[in-house]
Each structure stands twice: as structure tokens, then as C-alpha cells.
Structure 1
Amino acid sequence: MALINFLYYVVAFAVVLGVLIVVHELGHYAVARWCGVKVLRFSVGFGQPLWSRHLGRDGTEWVLAAFPLGGYVKMLDEREGEVDPAERHRSFNAQSVGKRMAIVAAGPVANLLLAILLYCFVFWQGAPELRPLLGTPPAASALAQSGVENGEEVLRLDGHEVASLQDLHWQLLRRASEAESVVLETRNLRGEINERRVAIAPTLAEFGLEADLPDRLGVTLFRPYIPPRLGSVSSSGAAGVAGMQVGDVVVGIDGVTVDTWGEVVTRVREAVGRSLGIEVVRAGRHLHFVVTPTEENERGRVIGRIGVGVAVPENLPQLAITVRYPLGESLQRAARETWEKSFFSLEMMGKMLVGQVSLKNLSGPVTIADFAGQSAKLGWASFLKFMALVSISLGVLNLLPIPVLDGGHLMYHMLELLRGRPVSERIQEVGQRIGLSLLFALMAFALYNDFARLASG
């Protein structure tokens, strides 16, 4: 089971990485061909080729290489070897500055366009999400101090509609970098509309702009009161064999009073390998049963089950919703989502440089693989949204003005445009070394964070 689970995560990571690398390099490839540049090699991965084929009119070599964390498109270029005079006009360096900039920018732009398409598809098809219903916030949290009660649904944040609990998390993170407080328009279980001013600044000052900031502010999942009344009892299950029946109300387990169905589930799941003394009320009589939960494997963890289900109250609020929009609106929302997350990524990187955001937020391939597997288990919509987020991160990262990245090459081309002549090869060589050193340092930090998260569980 552990091996299958590991392979599941590896496959999910490979799909995410493979799609994003191929799309990025196809961006470079397509614009290079459109500009008339000859492409010599299209490689997914670096190092020793594991598979290669020469295809197309120009005999472009298509390669799958051993080290998969990246890829490249090699074009005809006089700076990298002799070029037949008859083909000089097809070399990269012979193109105008504008064409060279378009070819370089095409990779990151392709990643951003992919994110828009993925978000658009999810919005159009409809994704299952949680309603923005809030549970009872911790006593000292910002939401508790604002007066938020259990079961309040967030309708708007600073005037912007909140579509789901995930959307609430995102909007809080985005506004935290801009405002000291936000105003939540909420509706409680009695149907009353309230405005809750939530102070963000104190929590932000204490914990920083981290991904768990909404949790720190007091955003918790709404858990409606569900009485511990049995709605179904399997005749072959431990409870049915012991004599428990539909309609029984569980009032105690091992001498401890229980008030909600959630308490029953928790105690049964944890009772692996031991018997439980369960007290129920049936037609006004108190009855006692000794029940031994059967062991079941749930995602690699052994839990206890007794073969019963809850009687769901009729007035229970709907927790799950499907967020769906028409195609035109889906495209608009997808473009806005991509723009906002791109800008937020840049803002976070800037805050890391000046020390306002911890470098612990950097994630490497191990964390990405973990999130890829988790999102895949949640369903296709979560997986596609995760892929879109990573695609945005890849696009934004590659546009940074760091030598060896696409943004560094764009910087050189812009300087050439301003100066009227190319940047010297010596300066570019020094820049390459600095850029590689910086990237290796970032990768080391990211890998350190990955293993630190694994070590902390």
C-alpha cells in the first residue's frame, strides 16, 4: 500500500512537471519557428538523452533526457558554432532584437496562458468547493474579536464577492499585503446580515505573511451540530452484531459523555484493537453494549469502524457547492485569477528579499510532489488548479531579471535596445556565473525547507 501511494505521488508530480516543461519549451519553439529561426534540439530534461528522434523538415532532434527538472530549445546560433552562410539568416543571433525578445519571452508567456486555460476550464465545468461557512473562531483570534459566530457565511470581503472557503483564504492573503484590516459581510444562521471588521495587522506582525495566515486569523471549518442518532446499522457490523438499532442515540462511550456525532466517530476510529462500552438511549431506556471495532485501512492509516451511519438532520446547512460560470465569464475570471496570483508571487518574492516574508515559504520539488499527489486525490479540479498555480510560479520565476533565466536574457536584449549594441560576452559570462550561483542557493534553500517539513511531520 505504501509503495502504491508513493507511486501515485510520483506519477502526479511527473504529469505536472512534464506538462509545464513541455508547454514552456513549446512556447520558445513555436515563436522561434514563426520568426524563421532553425531549431536544432527540443529537450525535455538535461544531461544524457534517454530517447531521441529527428523529426520535421529541419530534422529537429526531439529528446527526453535523464535529469527531468527542466528543459531547453537549442537554436541555430553563430555564437555556439559555425553556421552555413546559406542558413545564417535562420540563426537566432541574426534576428532583430524584437524577434529575439519575443522568442525568449514566449516560454514564460506560454506558462501563464496555460494557467488561464486551466482555470477557465475548471470555472466553466464547475468545481466542487466548500461554502464560506465559518466555524467558531479561537477565543483570542482576530475573527473572534470581530464578533464572528459559529455558522456565519461570508458573503463579501471589502465589497468583493466570496465564492467559496478557498476563495476566502485567497482574498485574505491578498488583502493582508495591502490593508491593516478587512470588512467581512456575513449572514448568520438566523439570516441576519452583519459587518465584521477584522484586524489583520496584529496577526501579520506576529506571524508574518505566511500561507496559514487565514488560520491564524481564526478561519475554521464550520461544523454543524449533528446529534449522535443512528440512521443506519449494518447487520454484519460490530454494532449490529452487538444489538444496536436504527434510532438509538449514543450518549456515552467508555463512561465519557458524548454530545455530537463527531465525538462518536473520533472515539470509534481511535479504538483499534480494543472493545468499547457504548451507552445509548432507546425509547427512553438506557442500554449498554460492548462493541469491538473492526480494523480498516484508510489511506495508509488503520482505523476502527463499527458499521453505523448517522441520521442526518433535515435542516442541515449545505456545506459543499459547485462553483460554475458561463464560458465568457470563466475566461475573464481565469485571466484575473492568473494576473492576481502572478502579481502576488512577485510581491512575495520581493518581500522575501527584504526580509518581510520568511524564506521558509520557498518550496522545492519534494513539496511540489507532495501537493501534486494530495491535489490529485481530491479530484481533477483540484489537480488542474494546482497545475495552474505551479505554471504561474514557473512563468513568473522565469521572467525575473536573473542571468540564465529567460528574464535575464530579456534584460540583456533590453540593454542592447537602449545602447544600440549587444552586451559584451564577458559581462554575459559573469552574469551567467552569478545567476547560476543564485539559482543553486535558492534550490538549496528550497530543498532544505522540503526536508525540514518532512522531518516536522
Structure 2
Amino acid sequence: MSLLQTLLAFLGAIGTLVVIHELGHYLVARWCGVKVLRFSVGMGKVVWMRRFGPDQTEWALSVLPLGGYVKMLDGREADVSKLPPEELKREFTRQNVWKRIAIVAAGPLANFLLAIVLYAALFMNGVQEVSSRIAEPDPGSAAERAGLDAGDVVTAINGEAVAGWSDLRWRLIEATLDKQPAQVTVRRDGRGEFTFVLPAASFDRLDIEQDVPGALGFAISLPPPVLNKVTPGGPGAAAGLQAGDQVTHVDGKLMRDSAAFLHAVRGAPGRSLQLDVLRKGTPIALTITPHAEQQKTGKDSVTIGKIQVELAGQPDMIVVATGPVESVQKAVKKVWDTSVLTVQMFGRMIMGEVSWKNVTGPITIADYAGQTARVGLASYLSFIAFISISIGVLNLLPIPVLDGGHLLYYSLEVLTGRPVPERFGEIAQRLGVGLLVTLMALAVFNDVVRLL
């Protein structure tokens, strides 16, 4: 059932995005007076087709679901010399360059518009997410050195408002890419707002592939450490811990939340800890020695402490909702920010500053589609909006075969006053196909590596 749900979620997302993208091309082509011969969802052999509309356009489903196309009357693909004059007027290459630019750009723009509509709807409805309240920063982390403390609620980073944990993570990723100091504004309960600075050096060795907030010392604030389960035979059970116990202090230090308790235990492999525990309102003192275990962190491994207990409770959740006008404004800004970040990622991969392992393909997209669909409709729609932006940006890259490659040709035509030579276009087309196939192969390879 899980596999079926993942497959259906993937096909639903990709089908929606392909239809919207190609519908952009189709509607603007019709508006510009160009005759559309076929509208296909999918690539390759046509498996179903019907003719509709005044031009008897073929509406088709093709065998490969990863893509689609709008086929227009085009003298480069068919002999149009015998067509009557009124039909020749509707041939694509006979349109002025600005109409051709509008038709080609309409597909990516439709993807951006879809993302804006989805995000605006989600913002108006209200999005439930983890709050931006942070746990006690790791000792020696950038957040701890800057002066941040447990319970701080991050309200802005570099002047950009932070409403929840996703905003916090996003702003820190932007700071990581910029390699500039980050001003973090927080609200402390009963004490007002304060601003702390993470120096540029904090971001020097960070990679956006990793957990950026965690690497900087930011962790989600969790409830007080209350034990939900104690594994028989483990260090916790041997020390006398029971389900329902609340740990208040470790070695005399106040445990404000579960994260603080986890840090204390993980940082004491094989070393005795003095616990102050509340059991049904009665204070109890216990001694516990966490087992030492090796844990991999990338290529390295570290020794951490474990006591084999399960903590209860969930992090603080908030509902972020805005009015219609503000929701549209936020949606436009989010689409812009995401697009800029995506372009920066491509640029840094080309420069060798970011790993090519970040290139993902259909397997990873399908996996995320299934995961978000299982979480709920809001998560699934947010995922579709994000992928829609990615498709829009990808199609605008100046690679022959893609929309961006055609826009590059037409831009050169605007500047020079004449079309790109046909021979040059053919060579560029072949290079573009080769580059696209290489990128797809890399994406599938990365997907398989992640899967294994």
C-alpha cells in the first residue's frame, strides 16, 4: 500500500506540473494565433488520443510520464509550402520574435504561477509547523558562542522575519551560501528582544547538504525530559528509572527540555551522572552510567552515551496564517527566494563549491511525494509548489533543448536582428541533448546511491 501510495502521489504531482507547464505554452500560443497540433502529457509513443477544439488539436497521453510537449505548426518539422496563406500565418517561425519569446517563456512562468497560487492558499489556510523556539545550544557551537540560550524564540535573521522552524532553517541556509555574518533576533520570555551575531567564520566549513541549523547549534526546543519508556536491561533500567519519571537536573544542571537531557547523556559515554528525578511529584536522586557507543557522522565516528530510554512529548507547534493580500505577497517572495537559491546552487555546483550529489532525480522526487502525501494535504501541496519552482528554474537554464535555450536564441535574434544560423542551432541542440542526458544519468545515479 505504501508503494502504491508513493507511485500515485508521484504521478499526481508530475502529471499536474506537466499539464500546467504545457498549458502555459498552449494558451499563449493560441493567444498569439499559432496553430497547436498536439498537446501531450508524457513523451514517446502515444497510447491515447482524442481531437478537440476548432483546430482539432490532438490531446494525447504518451507512454513515458516524465514530461510532455505542445507540438505547433512549425516549418522546421514539416513541409508547409502547400498550406493556404491563412494557415501559413499561424506557423510558429513566421511569428515575430516577441511572440515566440512569449510562447516559450509561458511554460516556466506557468510553473511559477502555480507555486504562487499553492503557497498563497496554504498561507491563507494556515500552515502548522514547529515553532522557532530553540533548545539549549551545543557547547562550543556558533549559537552558544554568540550568546543564544534555551527557550529563545528566533523572530528574524538578517532582518527577514522568521515565523517558524522552516523559515529559520531557510534563512540559515541562505547565510551559509552567502558566507556572510548573520544577525539573529530572538525574543526571550519576559525580557524583550535581543540581537546576536553569528560571524562569517561560522559558515566557512558548512555545506548545505548537512543539517545547517544543527551544525550551527540550533535545535528544536522540546518539552521537559519525561520518560515514556525504559528498555529492560538497559542502563536506564539498571539505574532505577521508570516510565513517567521527569529528569529535572543532571549533575546539578537544570534540564530545561529533552534536548538538554539528550546532550548531557550523549556527552558522557562511560561516565557516571547524578540525576534528580521527579516521580509522581516526589524528588528522587539516582546515579546512571551511559553505555559508550560509536556513531558515524559523515566519514568520521564519535563516541556517545546511550541509556536506552524513550522520551515523551512533541515540540511546540504553531499555526502560521495570513490574510489574502499578505499571503500572495509572501507566496511571491517565497517563489523568488527559492528560485534565487536554486540558481545559486547550480552556480556553486559548476564552480565546485557544492557537491553534485545534490542533483536529484525521479526516484527521490517519488520518495518525497509519497512521504509528504502521507503527512497530509498541506505538506503534499507544499512539495508540489517546490518542485514546480524547480521545474520552472530548470527550464529557464540556457541549455539547448530546454525553454531557456530557445529564449537564448531569440534574445540573440533581438540583439542582432537576424535568427541564429540553422547549422549552429543543430549543433547546439545535439550538445544540449547530451548535457541533459548526462544530468539525468547523474540524477538517477544519486537517487540509487541514496536508496542503497
Q: Same fold (TM over 0.5)?
A: yes
Q: Which residue of 2 aligns with 1:386?
A: 383
| 1:377 CA displacement | 2.0
1:132 partner SS: coil
For the 8 Å contact 2:120–2:328, the answer to whether it is kept is yes
Summarize the Cα distance change of 1:211–1:375 in structure 2 as closer, same or farther, 3 Å threshold. farther
Deviates more, 1:37-46 or 1:445-454: 445-454
Q: Which residue of 1 aligns with 2:136?
A: 136
Q: Does 1:225 align with 2:259?
A: no
Q: Which residue of 2 aligns with 1:125?
A: 125
1:61 partner SS: strand
Summarize the Cα distance change of 1:39–1:200 in structure 2 as closer, same or farther, 3 Å threshold. same
Q: Which residue of 2 aligns with 1:216?
A: 215
2:394 to 388, 394, 397: 397
TM-score of the superposed pair, with normalisation by structure 1: 0.80
Deviates more, 1:205-214 or 1:427-436: 205-214
Q: Does 1:326 align with 2:323?
A: yes
Summarize the Cα distance change of 1:190–1:225 in structure 2 as closer, same or farther, 3 Å threshold. farther
TM-score of the superposed pair, with normalisation by structure 2: 0.80
Paired AA for residue 65 in structure 1: S
For the 8 Å contact 2:36–2:55, the answer to whether it is kept is yes
2:178 partner SS: coil
User: Percent of aligned pairs with the same residue?
Assistant: 44
| 1:137 CA displacement | 2.5
Summarize the Cα distance change of 1:212–1:281 in structure 2 as closer, same or farther, 3 Å threshold. closer
| 1:228 CA displacement | 4.7
For the 8 Å contact 2:130–2:315, the answer to whether it is kept is no
Summarize the Cα distance change of 1:201–1:383 in structure 2 as closer, same or farther, 3 Å threshold. farther
| 1:154 CA displacement | 0.7
1:329-370: per-residue Cα shift (whole Å, max 9, x none)? 111111111111111111111111111111111111111111
1:90 partner SS: coil
Q: Which residue of 2 aligns with 1:97?
A: 97
Q: Which residue of 2 aligns with 1:68?
A: 65
Summarize the Cα distance change of 1:254–1:41 in structure 2 as closer, same or farther, 3 Å threshold. same
**Count of paired positions:** 391
| 1:256 CA displacement | 4.6
For the 8 Å contact 2:220–2:315, the answer to whether it is kept is no
Q: Which residue of 1 aligns with 2:2?
A: 5
CA RMSD of aligned residues (A): 2.7
1:194-251: per-residue Cα shift (whole Å, max 9, x none)? 322223534x332334363222112211112154599xxxxxxxxxxxxxxxxxxxx9
User: What is the distance in 2 between the residues matched to 1:132 and 1:167?
Assistant: 8
User: What is the distance in 2 between the residues matched to 1:403 and 1:327?
Assistant: 39
Summarize the Cα distance change of 1:353–1:114 in structure 2 as closer, same or farther, 3 Å threshold. same
Paired AA for residue 21 in structure 1: V
User: What is the distance in 1 between the residues matched to 2:283 and 2:112?
Assistant: 65
**Following superposition of structure 1 onto structure 2, how do residues 22-41 of structure 1 map, counting pairs within 5 Å?**
22-41=19-38
User: What is the distance in 2 between the residues matched to 1:223 and 1:335?
Assistant: 32
**Following superposition of structure 1 onto structure 2, how do residues 33-432 of structure 1 map, counting pairs within 5 Å?**
33-83=30-80, 84-86=83-85, 87-189=87-189, 191=191, 193-202=193-202, 204-210=203-209, 212-228=211-227, 253-257=237-241, 259-260=245-246, 319-432=316-429
Q: Where do 5+ consecutive residues of structure 2 fail to align?
A: 230-234, 248-257, 263-276, 285-310
1:152-180: per-residue Cα shift (whole Å, max 9, x none)? 21122122221001110011112322342
For the 8 Å contact 1:252–1:280, the answer to whether it is kept is no
| 1:372 CA displacement | 1.3
Q: Where do 5+ consecutive residues of structure 1 fail to align?
A: 231-250, 267-278, 287-308
